[in-house]
Structure 1
Amino acid sequence: MKRLLSLVALLAVAAAPASPGGVWLFPKSDEFPGLRMMRLTKGADGWTGSLTTDWYGDVPMRALDVTGGKASFQIDNGNPRLPAKTWTATLSGGGLHVTGDIWERHVDETARRGTPADAQRLAFPVAPLPAPQTLKPDGLTATPPMGWSSWNRFAAAIDDRTVRQIADHLVSSGLRDAGYTYVNIDDGWQGTRGPDGAIRPNARFPDMKALADYVHARRLKIGIYSSPGPKTCAGFTGSYGHVAQDAKTYAAWGFDYLKYDLCSGEGIYRTAAQVKLAYQQMGQALRATGRPIVYSLCQYGRDRVGTWGRDVGGHLWRTTGDIEDTYASMAAIGFDKDGDPANAGPGGWNDPDMLEVGNGGMSEDEYRTHMTLWAMQAAPLMLGNDLRTMSPATIALLENRGVIAIDQDVKGAQGRRIRKDGDAEIWAKPLADGSVAVALFNRGTTPREIRFEAEDAGLRRIGTLTDVWAGVPDNAARRAWTVPAHGAMLVRVKG
């Protein structure tokens, strides 16, 4: 009888479905999201699990259900705009067949069983965050920074030669003398880390110190890019775990500006408090170098960044996602996501992203609206076009001294929408000399007359009136303009 019972017990165990619990290892791949391993553990309170990735660290499984040899769960990459996606993991032929979607990639991989030793070897390192601290103003960016950035035109396909040529064209075109002084390298310059952990540029940038010296010799400044996450948005090496080391490297190379883009950090720093501390960490590291470095926060306007951007050492902070070279994108950002004016002023600026003027996706009137909106908002003016192939019309738009003066006005006030009438909008911006910039915008698809009164500018009367784009005085009694479709009129008035 005992033998019979033992045989029944063995058959029952053999018949029981295998469990997907344990450690599972994925084939090594540099492809996003860089899957390393999966862990499924059954405890007293049920199943828990995570996916370990190169991009987002340990991604927690939510709504996890394990039935027989199959697990289903939801994961997300920390981006609040994207819904969590459902994944499945099914035992198959001794492996675990895993499928699911993250960001824009569909994963279809087979993992093999691993051991606790494998789990320890492949564990994602946890980089500590600092204690909360408020950094004091450092005197930089009394007015919004101006310059050029590589991303809008070149994306990650940027190199040393192009940066040098852009610097030369900033000078020869007159744009440097108009105020555009930063030459900023965005994503795509990074290589690997050396044995000491120091970041090295890739082969397209053979000598960063020499490049910085070249830019400085032209009375310009130079900027660089990184992320608080392990990977940048284009998949290059981020600063995770090497924040202080990277800040020292940038300073040693001679850089004057850092754009710090959340990217893969959104999967690791999942709360507003964590994101703030991640940005504070780099702010402290930059200050510790002793080199004045403008600090640009790029986390897409989340977590009310304008209310704490200065506190972490920031000089400008993005108010929105990335701009595109279309009127719809520019208008949605410029009119509707312009940031709280209460947060902007000398030392810290709302940043609606880089300029698209000259990239070809909009008409001249639409680009004039683009420049007018950014100037009225006291926004940073970062060119995003190829300066080597600019038309005279593009140069004229970008170097208009009257428009730039409104953007760079030392009062540092951000303009506001005063009145809206259908597709027509009137904005006003007080200036340091007591005058007021007034912008008339036509968001419609046909020309229309737009009127304004002295009260729109907060004045009792108008004594002088200047057409800013034309750079000439206008009739002080004039109150109406016919504004082209998607166009703008910009005037400077004084009582």
Structure 2
Amino acid sequence: MRLFSTMLLAAAAAIATPAAGKTPLDGVWLFDKAPSYPGVTMVELSGDGDRATGAVTTAWYGKMEMQNVQRDGDTVSFDLRNLNDKAHATRRWTARLVNGAVVLEGDIWSSHVVQNGRRGTAADAAKRAFKVATLPPLGTLAPDGLAATPPMGWSSWNKFAEHIDDKTIRAMADALVSTGLRDAGYTYVNIDDGWQGTRGADGVLRPNAKFPDMKALADYVHARGLKLGIYSSQGPKTCAGYEGSYGHVAQDAKTFAGWGMDYLKYDLCSGEWFYADADTVKRSYYEMGAALRATGRRIVFSLCEYGRFDVGAWGRSVGGHLWRTTGDITDDYPTMAKIGFDKNGNADHAGPGGWNDPDMLEIGNGGMSDDEYRSHMTLWAMSAAPLVMGHDLRRTSDHALALLKNRAVIAIDQEKLGQQGKAVRKQGEIEIWRKTLADGSVALALFNRGTGAARVTLSAADAGMPITALRDVWQGRTLAPETTDFAVPGHGAVLLMARGG
């Protein structure tokens, strides 16, 4: 009888207490109502005494392995890699057992996550497991003749973010025509993030209800002498949380080509979890570059990975025609100036077929003064940067339209030699830039980065030759070649064309 009682007590203890080497949080935990970011769907934990290992599965970043795991009673704490945020390479998370459920809490980027999960089974874990896609070996794509000059057009993001639809895109195409911007060279109408719907059982990505017929939209844009662009990410999710191309790269390239797309912006976004070093980032862009070429449709390929890993040195070889050199621009002078003056890429990488891209134009959005917007346009033209507008084209002021349509300024940007200008003299807040043109003349820009007006003296050394002819581009007037003294307003610019003897 005593032996039987002992056996009963041992059995009860085994039920009440995890087996030796296990923790109370061991097993599979499922999250059915996850916030959209980062979209935790499952936590898997296994332990041995105070030690534990595990992973967090998310919609954005797939399976994230726990690091530096520690157990304290019914709580497990651990680090998760925080993408490429160098200042916060990891963030600390906790999983706590509360009344038979798990409470997961932690930070990623600027988001604080608190989710409640229930117990699951190994079968549940198999169903929710993230399917890992493999990258091809890195190859080299030959130039295809596209983007002989920096692309010009319009993109939806700066003004509308993800709040876009078919009607708005058609309206922007119409406005490009009615304002004369199309005839000035702005020909691309680019749909940025927010158009994506869901994938069917066949894996094909459909647009959401705001875009009922992409092929019809492309036909509409093409009928107006324009070209249509679209957006995706090599990650599972785009920056705005829509469906990315992860695991469906070739399939999406065929879909875009079938719709009649002429341009693709490919944004690293959630892909930066999977592709965090130079090798994988390059291969992820090569994968889409090769897929676009395989469709047989001529599509401009815009690489958006924020200037990482010296992208200008390899952007062409993966099929890119332009590559972002920086993070996102915003409609204020300090950000625009920092990007345009300091983050506009290595000038040696720019030229016909491939361009440094300091991001879109903010002219027309209203956050800067007229002088600041003139500096913005001057700086982008001198940099041989893509000229992609980002405002509501239906509400373009006369001043903004005059800046954007100035044919002489556009000609400097679109000049066939394709040289990216750069500073030849810096003196305090003053910068003088020079850009050599195919006919031997030079464009000279006098920038004042200070807030107060300044007098700037131009020299033959700045031009790289004795000046025999001089013209003020913005004012549209010829100057005496010996003119050397210029008034430049605060945050303003003077743009000149000079010829030598």
TM-score, with length taken from structure 2 = 0.95
1:142 matched to 2:139: no
Q: Read off the aligned partner of 1:105 and give its amino acid letter.
A: S
2:371 touches 2:491 (CA, 8 Å); kept in 1?
Answer: yes
> CA–CA distance in 1 between the matches of 2:302 and 2:375?
24
Q: Read off the aligned partner of 1:59 and give its amino acid letter.
A: M
1:11 CA drift (Å):
8.4
1:419 CA drift (Å):
1.3
SS of 2:117 mapped into structure 1:
strand
1:56 touches 1:77 (CA, 8 Å); kept in 2?
Answer: no
> CA–CA distance in 2 between the matches of 1:12 and 1:405?
83
> CA–CA distance in 2 between the matches of 1:385 and 1:283?
29
1:113 matched to 2:128: no
1:408 matched to 2:414: yes
1:477 matched to 2:482: yes
Q: Read off the aligned partner of 2:72 and give its amino acid letter.
A: T
1:15 CA drift (Å):
6.5
Q: 1:43 to 1:294 in 2, by over 3 A?
A: farther
Paired residue for 1:292? Answer: 298
What per-residue deviation string (whole Å, max 9, x for no partner) do you get for residues 158-214 of structure 1? 111111111111111111111111011101111111221111111111111111111
1:215 CA drift (Å):
0.8
1:319 touches 1:338 (CA, 8 Å); kept in 2?
Answer: yes
Moved more, 73-82 or 139-148: 73-82
2:23 touches 2:47 (CA, 8 Å); kept in 1?
Answer: no
1:2 CA drift (Å):
6.8
1:80 matched to 2:85: yes
SS of 1:263 mapped into structure 2:
coil
Question: Where in structure 2 are the equivalents of 1:370-409 lying within 5 Å?
Answer: 370-409=376-415
Question: Where in structure 2 are the equivalents of 1:41-52 lying within 5 Å?
Answer: 41-42=46-47, 47-52=52-57
1:462 matched to 2:479: no
Question: Where in structure 2 are the equivalents of 1:265-344 lying within 5 Å?
Answer: 265-344=271-350
2:23 touches 2:46 (CA, 8 Å); kept in 1?
Answer: no
1:116 CA drift (Å):
1.6
Of 89, 104, 114, the residue aligned with 1:98 is: 104
Paired residue for 2:186? Answer: 180
SS of 1:439 mapped into structure 2:
strand
2:430 touches 2:450 (CA, 8 Å); kept in 1?
Answer: yes
Unaligned runs of 5+ in 2: none
Question: Where in structure 2 are the equivalents of 1:427-442 lying within 5 Å?
Answer: 427-442=433-448
> CA–CA distance in 2 between the matches of 1:271 and 1:327?
32
1:431 CA drift (Å):
0.8
Q: Read off the aligned partner of 1:442 and give its amino acid letter.
A: N
> CA–CA distance in 2 between the matches of 1:170 and 1:288?
31
- Root-mean-square deviation (CA), in Å? 2.0
What per-residue deviation string (whole Å, max 9, x for no partner) do you get for residues 297-336 of structure 1? 0111112111111111000000011100011110111111
1:47 CA drift (Å):
3.4
Of 230, 244, 251, the residue aligned with 2:250 is: 244
Q: 1:252 to 1:286 in 2, by over 3 A?
A: same
SS of 1:354 mapped into structure 2:
coil
> CA–CA distance in 2 between the matches of 1:8 and 1:196?
56
1:53 touches 1:59 (CA, 8 Å); kept in 2?
Answer: yes
1:26 matched to 2:31: yes
> CA–CA distance in 2 between the matches of 1:303 and 1:361?
31
1:38 touches 1:50 (CA, 8 Å); kept in 2?
Answer: yes
1:59 touches 1:77 (CA, 8 Å); kept in 2?
Answer: no
SS of 1:100 mapped into structure 2:
strand
Q: Read off the aligned partner of 2:464 and give its amino acid letter.
A: G
> CA–CA distance in 2 between the matches of 1:474 and 1:9?
100
> CA–CA distance in 2 between the matches of 1:365 and 1:328?
13
SS of 1:176 mapped into structure 2:
coil
Question: Where in structure 2 are the equivalents of 1:213-232 lying within 5 Å?
Answer: 213-232=219-238
1:270 CA drift (Å):
2.3
SS of 1:175 mapped into structure 2:
coil
Q: Read off the aligned partner of 2:94 and give its amino acid letter.
A: T
SS of 1:111 mapped into structure 2:
strand
SS of 1:267 mapped into structure 2:
helix
1:234 matched to 2:240: yes
Paired residue for 2:134? Answer: 128
SS of 2:57 mapped into structure 1:
strand
1:44 CA drift (Å):
12
1:489 matched to 2:482: no
2:61 touches 2:274 (CA, 8 Å); kept in 1?
Answer: yes
1:348 CA drift (Å):
0.5
> CA–CA distance in 2 between the matches of 1:415 and 1:361?
26
SS of 1:419 mapped into structure 2:
strand
SS of 2:183 mapped into structure 1:
helix
SS of 1:133 mapped into structure 2:
coil
Paired residue for 2:456? Answer: 450
1:113 CA drift (Å):
1.9
1:98 CA drift (Å):
1.1
Q: Read off the aligned partner of 1:234 and give its amino acid letter.
A: A
> CA–CA distance in 1 between the matches of 2:166 and 2:87?
36
Paired residue for 1:169? Answer: 175
> CA–CA distance in 2 between the matches of 1:109 and 1:34?
10
Give aligned pairs, total: 494
1:68 CA drift (Å):
2.8
1:77 touches 1:266 (CA, 8 Å); kept in 2?
Answer: no
> CA–CA distance in 2 between the matches of 1:67 and 1:9?
25
> CA–CA distance in 2 between the matches of 1:92 and 1:18?
14
1:54 matched to 2:59: yes
What per-residue deviation string (whole Å, max 9, x for no partner) do you get for residues 50-104 of structure 1? 1100111111222221233211111134133451221111111111111111223
Q: Read off the aligned partner of 2:262 and give its amino acid letter.
A: D
2:34 touches 2:115 (CA, 8 Å); kept in 1?
Answer: no
TM-score, with length taken from structure 1 = 0.96
> CA–CA distance in 2 between the matches of 1:365 and 1:251?
41
2:198 touches 2:206 (CA, 8 Å); kept in 1?
Answer: yes
Paired residue for 2:165? Answer: 159
